Amino acid sequence: MKVLMVGGGAREHCIASTLAKEDIELYSVMKNKNPGLAKLSKEFFLVPETEVEKVSDWAKSQNIEMAVIGPEGPLEKGIVDELFSVGIPSVGPSKSCARLETSKSFTRQLLEKYNIPGNPEFKVFNSREGVKEYMEELGEFVVKDEGLCGGKGVKLSGEHLANVKEGLEYAKHCIHKSGAAVVEEKFVGEEFSLQCLSDGKTVIGSPLAQDHKRAFEGDKGPNTGGMGSYSDSNHLLPFLSHDDYDAAIDITQKACKALNEECGEPYKGVMYGGFIATKKGVRLVEFNARYGDPEVLNILPLLETSLLDIFIAVIDGNLKPGMAKYSNRATVCKYVVPKGYGIKSEAGYPLEVNETAIRKVGAQFYYAAVNEEEGKLFTTTSRSLGVVGIGGTLSDAEAKAERALGHVKGNIFMRHDIGTAEAIKRKIERMKDIRG
Ligand code: GLY
């Protein structure tokens, strides 16, 4: 089967590596040449993934039979509809269904309209009228840009916004840029990611993972695309219960059903819920219409069943509970990034990755944004690669990830605290304090 992978990051390298274990021929479309994806691909086409007509023309010329869409940008541009129009089905939602991620007001209003639990108090503003008063009423608040912002569109009072004045300024900026700002009640708790697959009727879950968005150790510094993530061997997180998992699945299933009614078509693809466990229960931070980066690196290396069969079932509407089986192992992913990442990346430095030594450690690695010139790798302004330690326990997995990092050299930075016993203990204690 000829499968097209759209996207050139570590997420796509990880999905493609999992698919490549099966009887497929892989083709890739990416903006920059990802050396890992290039190696796995029979052919690749370097083009911005958001240029969806160019992507579909090329896919058609290569007789692609199925496409897998990695990032949200091309989903927003309607890549799934475009590929469908030339006879290529995709793992990924249509432009209308992808509003689950591409429009923050759409999702909040969907949950409200269909009585789905998990929403905060919220209001959508198309002008500055009433914004200040609503922020004052909420006390602690969140301002979200209506549209896609590469993970940087959400600002919280007391963290990114010092007061109502700053909140109002940011809301005005969002309204000017995207036509709307969503102002919401601020949740306090620990966030977690649940990456489900949906064929429009059936939703199947995966092990939970927790991302680390802040650039520096101790969850300090600016927000980034994600510095690393971990998952535990029982598929929960050390501070969560089965009830929390069930609550997150319930919200996702109800949202899937509501999307069918609202969009008039089935949602086919990944429904990745960013949830938060609070004193009052599990709440929805946001939905994404694709796998998480880095969180997909925590789950696909554990998959024991066929990802190709699962993707075909997503497209055909035959997804069955139990099709995705994950081994009971813990994982810790740590991203290698250029020094200064999150503030001002020092790009263009040589990067040495001893792939053989990383494999010997028993860790996995997935390339993200690097440049390759004459067989040598160089950093860019974005994340360079993710290493993933896999073990019987979180501490085994964390130790493997650290050993793997020892085999990557350059003008680089990484967060060593992700998945450490000390960091996990802090999260457990924080959750105990919150829940009482
Ligand atoms: N882990 C954050 C994201 O994928 O958006």
The yes-or-no verdict on residue 151 having pLDDT over 90 is no
Please identify, in words, the CATH class of the domain defined by 2-91.
Answer: alpha beta
The predicted pLDDT at position 406 comes to 98
CA dist 31 → 46, 51, 370, 434 (Å): 5, 10, 11, 43
DSSP run (H or E) holding 251: helix 242-263
Q: What are phi and psi of 191, to 5 degrees?
A: -85, 155
Q: What are phi and psi of 373, to 5 degrees?
A: -130, 125
Q: CATH for 189-316, among 3.90.190.10, 3.30.465.10, 3.30.470.20, 3.90.10.10?
A: 3.30.470.20
The residue whose C-alpha atom lies closest to atom 4 belonging to ligand 1 is 292
Whether 2-91 and 330-425 share one fold: the answer is no
Average pLDDT estimate for 118-135: 98
Average pLDDT estimate for 127-141: 97
Question: Which atom belonging to ligand 1 lies closest to the Cα atom of 229?
Answer: 1
The yes-or-no verdict on residue 436 having pLDDT over 90 is no
Instruction: Name which of 263, 284, 265 is nearest 275 in CA terms.
Output: 284
Question: Which atom belonging to ligand 1 lies closest to the Cα atom of 291?
Answer: 4
Average pLDDT estimate for 249-270: 98
The residue whose C-alpha atom lies closest to atom 3 belonging to ligand 1 is 292
Average pLDDT estimate for 228-252: 98
E-only strand ranges, 224-363: 228-231, 269-278, 281-288, 330-338, 350-353
E-only strand ranges, 39-145: 43-46, 66-69, 90-91, 122-125, 141-145
293 alpha carbon – ligand 1 mean position (Å): 5
For domain 330-425, the question of CATH label 3.40.50.1000 is answered with no
- DSSP designation for 23: S
224 alpha carbon – ligand 1 mean position (Å): 10
pLDDT confidence band for 255 (50 / 70 / 90): very high
Average pLDDT estimate for 171-191: 97
Question: Which atom belonging to ligand 1 lies closest to the Cα atom of 225?
Answer: 2
The predicted pLDDT at position 43 comes to 98
Instruction: Name which of 359, 361, 363, 409 is nearest 384 in CA terms.
Output: 409
The residue whose C-alpha atom lies closest to atom 5 belonging to ligand 1 is 292
239 by DSSP, 3-state: which? Answer: coil
Give the residue extent of every domain in the chain: 2-91, 127-179, 189-316, 330-425
Ligand 1 contacts (CB < 6 A) are 151, 211, 226, 288, 292-293, 295
348 within 8 A of 379, measured Cβ to Cβ: yes
Q: Is 45 exposed, middle or buried (0-12, 13-18, 19+ CB in 10 A)?
A: middle
Q: Which residue has the tokens 């695309």?
A: 225
Average pLDDT estimate for 388-414: 98
Instruction: Assign 3-class secondary structure to 176-223.
Output: HHHCCEEEEECCCEEEEEEEEEECCCCEECCCCEEECCEEECCCEEEE
- Per-residue pLDDT tens digits for 20-70: 999 999 999 999 999 999 999 999 999 999 999 999 999 999 999 999 999
The DSSP-derived string for 142-185 is EEEESS--TT--EEEBTTTB-SHHHHHHHHHHHHHHHS-EEEEE
Pocket test for ligand 1, best of 14, 144, 211 (most atoms within 8 A of CB): 211
Pocket test for ligand 1, best of 227, 293, 296, 382 (most atoms within 8 A of CB): 293
Q: Name the average pLDDT for the chain.
A: 97
The yes-or-no verdict on residue 391 having pLDDT over 90 is yes
